[in-house]
């Protein structure tokens, strides 16, 4: 989620600051709320860091100017997780003596306990970040053991969570130590001259194509033009690693080898879900308590976030047993000007946290009913929405660059599901055993999506080719899957410029069905939930009028499969636990369909016509 970069060289004329600055610019897509660069010279560390975009900070601080002769630098571009995006929270973070510097991509899950322990030993902290415990842990270890490599290894062994780390010490002028667990870390080598490290290859691709990819629990000692690798649990015996030659262009490398950000981000859904599954229980529990205590609950959002709200409303009401109204944020004030009650709870949901209609809705609600509570779900720490909220949960999708929201949608629905299960625990309307089955289904969502990707891409491309001439589509569903129909339809509209009516299958016979002619394509979203039998009836209404039926079903479906022209099978069980979370597992199929349809029509899926990623005008 953050971008890290390091360089150590023995080249006389090298401009270390300039290289570090250019390199984090190439990583800016990984996070862009603050940045920092450090260089080491004459046993001193020189740090420049601040909140904001790299270019703005560079204008203020001249990020490429460091002492002449400096041969080592670390650089970081941040995507805030712990601590808002401020200068103090920007990386690098240093120990008490300003000797040890660390840049980090990931989350140290046990940082609160470790911080307490370090505070009791006299360490003082400047930031609110989880990262800052690492230089202090190393400092603490070096009190008894002057060996930097061992001190780093011992410190890291105490940390739980995910990390890609680059570390340097003022008194070790020619050494960077890197460590990895769960977060990516790559070492690039210009043999005998310069060594680089980065959380992604594009950072150093203009300088070298030779690299080593660190595995989990590996550590490397980087010196100018060399790298030595170790297992974190065995620092005495260096490991052999195979060098890899990178053939991608810089542009392709930024997209991780994918042709477009949209495709990369769809494929990142399993990892985004896994991170979101780790949202701390206390923040979910807080949301659950607030929702349970409320008389009136509204959810509000725009676009994809609104469709996540429709799915979320369905999942939460199942366990809450109270009505929740979902209102598009642009209509929020108009609809509630005469009826927003005291003490209402407003759940605001937004990927960016900057959508102007949403900000206006929550501002208005707070002014009109100061007793109303705003609780928000967003992907961006420090966004405007977070500043107007009483409580926030940050989804863990990571930066989303493609204009079409994809991985952020699944993490939003997952967040609603996690809150819903906290509500279930509190109301005790379901047994512990039953709740655990819902959790198990939720934990299996990343794997279901991975399996889906393994088997179905060619089928989706085939469907796209067959539908190439169709300009209009219906995406139909009942119950919770109406959210999937609407979101899937929005994707096809956005990136492939096809018109889609994402609609209730039952309601479609009250008018829209008059459009159906021979060959009109209709996609039915059909998990085997309580709406399944009735959906078959709706499907027949469209089939008997000549519609071409494509259905999204679970692995062992037979009834709808037999009635459809084509089926896309989602590799999951059709039990009630998995069906409830089908908005998460069924949507990748429709996102891929939209993506490949865009390519079929020679459209750039990352730059849909007339759209912006964040809508800040009314
Ligand atoms: O950042 P937000 O979630 O508030 O954005 C809301 C919509 O603008 C956004 O979802 C939009 O519809 C996307 N282009 C959908 O792919």
For 186-231, what is each residue's pLDDT tens digit?
Answer: 999 999 999 999 988 889 999 999 999 898 999 999 999 999 999 9
Do 285 and 183 have their domain in common? Answer: no
pTM as predicted = 0.81
Question: Which band of pLDDT confidence, cut at 50, 70 and 90, is reported for residue 1?
Answer: low
Do 215 and 261 have their domain in common? Answer: no
Q: Taking 90 as the threshold, does the pLDDT of residue 51 lie above it? A: yes
Do 371 and 354 have their domain in common? Answer: yes
In-domain check, residue 450:
no
Coil/strand/helix, residue 36: strand
In-domain check, residue 281:
yes
| Residue that finishes a domain, picked among 253, 284, 305 | 253
| H/E segment holding residue 141 | helix 133-142
Q: Which residue has the higher pLDDT, 257 or 313?
A: 313
In-domain check, residue 409:
yes
Domain region containing 187: 3-253
Question: Which band of pLDDT confidence, cut at 50, 70 and 90, is reported for residue 609?
Answer: confident
- Indicate whether residue 94 lines ligand 1 (CB < 6 A): no
Do 530 and 407 have their domain in common? Answer: no
CATH label of the domain that carries residue 492: 3.40.50.10490
Number of independent structural domains in the chain: 3
Q: Is 2 a catalytic residue?
A: yes
Q: What is the pLDDT of residue 618?
A: 66
Do 123 and 229 have their domain in common? Answer: yes
Do 266 and 405 have their domain in common? Answer: yes
- Cβ neighbours of residue 73 closer than 8 Å, sequence gap 6 or more: 6, 7, 16, 17, 19, 20, 37, 38, 39, 40, 66
Do 369 and 463 have their domain in common? Answer: no
Q: Please give the Cα distance from 498 to 495 (Å, whole number).
A: 8
Do 231 and 98 have their domain in common? Answer: yes
If 0-12 CB within 10 Å is exposed, 13-18 middle and 19+ buried, where does residue 46 land? Answer: middle
In-domain check, residue 613:
no
Cα→Cα distances 443→50, 248, 368, 581, Å: 37, 34, 40, 10
Do 415 and 295 have their domain in common? Answer: yes
| Residue that finishes a domain, picked among 398, 416, 443 | 443
In-domain check, residue 610:
no
Cα–ligand 1 centroid distance for 611 (angstroms):
10
Q: Taking 80 as the threshold, does the pLDDT of residue 563 lie above it? A: yes
| Residue that finishes a domain, picked among 229, 253, 277 | 253
The string of pLDDT tens digits covering residues 359-369 is 999 999 999 99
The string of pLDDT tens digits covering residues 511-559 is 999 999 999 999 999 999 999 999 999 999 999 999 999 999 999 999 9
CATH label of the domain that carries residue 83: 3.60.20.10
The string of pLDDT tens digits covering residues 21-50 is 999 998 887 777 899 999 999 999 999 999
In-domain check, residue 451:
no
Q: Write the residue with the smallest CA distance to atom 14 of ligand 1.
A: 404
Do 437 and 498 have their domain in common? Answer: no
Do 184 and 272 have their domain in common? Answer: no
Q: Is 235 a catalytic residue?
A: no
Write a three-state SS string for 300-348: EECHHHHHHHHHHHHHHHHHHCCCEEEEEHHHHHHHHCCCCCCCCEEEE
- Indicate whether residue 379 lines ligand 1 (CB < 6 A): no
Do 134 and 203 have their domain in common? Answer: yes
- For residue 231, give the nearest of 157, 134, 141 by alpha carbon: 157
Among 309, 312, 405, 590, the mutation site with the greatest number of ligand 1 atoms within 8 A of its Cβ is 405
In-domain check, residue 313:
yes
In-domain check, residue 585:
yes
Among 303, 413, 587, 616, the mutation site with the greatest number of ligand 1 atoms within 8 A of its Cβ is 303
């Amino acid at each position: 989620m953050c971008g890290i970069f390091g360089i150590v060289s023995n080249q006389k004329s090298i401009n270390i600051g300039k290289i570090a600055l250019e390199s984090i610019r190439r990583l800016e897509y990984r996070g862009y709320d603050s940045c920092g660069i450090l260089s080491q010279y004459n046993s001193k560390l020189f740090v420049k860091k601040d909140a904001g975009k790299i270019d703005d900070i560079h204008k203020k601080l001249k990020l490429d100017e460091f002492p002449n002769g400096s041969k080592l630098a670390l650089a970081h571009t941040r995507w805030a997780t712990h601590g808002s995006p401020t200068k103090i929270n920007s990386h690098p973070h240093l120990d008490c003596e300003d000797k040890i510097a660390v840049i980090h991509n990931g989350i140290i899950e046990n940082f609160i306990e470790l911080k307490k322990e370090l505070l009791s030993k006299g360490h003082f902290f400047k930031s609110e970040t989880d990262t800052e415990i690492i230089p202090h842990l190393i400092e603490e270890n070096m009190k008894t053991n002057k060996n930097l490599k061992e001190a780093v290894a011992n410190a890291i062994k105490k940390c739980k969570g995910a990390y890609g780390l680059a570390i340097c010490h003022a008194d070790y002028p020619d050494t960077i130590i890197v460590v990895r667990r769960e977060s990516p870390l790559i070492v690039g080598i210009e043999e005998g001259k310069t060594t680089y490290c980065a959380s992604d290859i594009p950072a150093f691709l203009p300088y070298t194509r030779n690299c080593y990819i660190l595995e989990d629990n590996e550590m490397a000692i980087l010196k100018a033009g060399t790298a030595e690798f170790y297992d974190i649990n065995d620092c005495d015996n260096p490991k052999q690693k195979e060098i890899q030659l990178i053939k991608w262009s810089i542009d392709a490398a930024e997209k991780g080898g994918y042709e477009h950000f949209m495709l990369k981000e769809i494929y990142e859904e399993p990892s985004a879900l896994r991170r979101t599954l780790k949202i701390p229980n206390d923040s979910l529990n807080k949301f659950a308590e607030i929702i349970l205590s409320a008389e009136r609950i509204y959810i509000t959002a725009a676009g994809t976030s609104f469709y996540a709200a429709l799915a979320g409303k369905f999942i939460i009401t199942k366990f809450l047993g109270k009505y929740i109204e979902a209102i598009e944020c642009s209509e929020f004030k108009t609809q509630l000007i005469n009826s927003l009650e005291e003490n209402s709870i407003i759940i605001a949901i937004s990927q960016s946290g900057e959508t102007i209609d949403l900000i206006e809705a929550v501002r208005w609600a707070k002014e009109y009913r100061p007793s109303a509570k705003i609780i928000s779900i967003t992907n961006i720490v420090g966004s405007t929405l977070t500043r107007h909220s009483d409580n926030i949960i940050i989804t863990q999708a990571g930066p989303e660059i493609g204009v079409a929201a994809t991985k952020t949608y699944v993490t939003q629905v997952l967040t609603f599901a996690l809150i819903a299960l906290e509500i279930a625990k509190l109301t005790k309307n379901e047994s512990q055993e039953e709740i655990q089955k819902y959790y198990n289904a939720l934990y299996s969502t990343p794997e279901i999506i991975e399996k889906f990707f393994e088997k179905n891409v060619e089928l989706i491309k085939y469907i796209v080719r067959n539908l190439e001439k169709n300009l209009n589509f219906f995406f139909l569903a009942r119950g919770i899957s109406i959210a999937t129909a609407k979101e899937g339809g929005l994707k096809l509209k956005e990136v492939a410029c096809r018109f889609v009516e994402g609609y209730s299958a039952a309601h479609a016979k009250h008018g829209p069905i008059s459009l159906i002619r021979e060959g009109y394509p209709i996609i039915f979203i059909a998990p085997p939930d309580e709406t399944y039998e009735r959906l078959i009836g709706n499907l027949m209404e469209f089939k008997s009028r000549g519609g071409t039926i494509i259905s999204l079903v679970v692995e062992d479906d037979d009834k709808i499969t037999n009635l459809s022209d084509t089926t896309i099978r989602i590799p999951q069980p059709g039990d009630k636990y998995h069906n409830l979370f089908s908005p998460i597992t069924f949507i990748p199929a429709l996102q891929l369909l939209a993506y490949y349809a865009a390519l079929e029509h020679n459209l750039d899926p990352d730059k849909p016509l007339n759209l912006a990623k964040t809508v800040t005008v009314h």
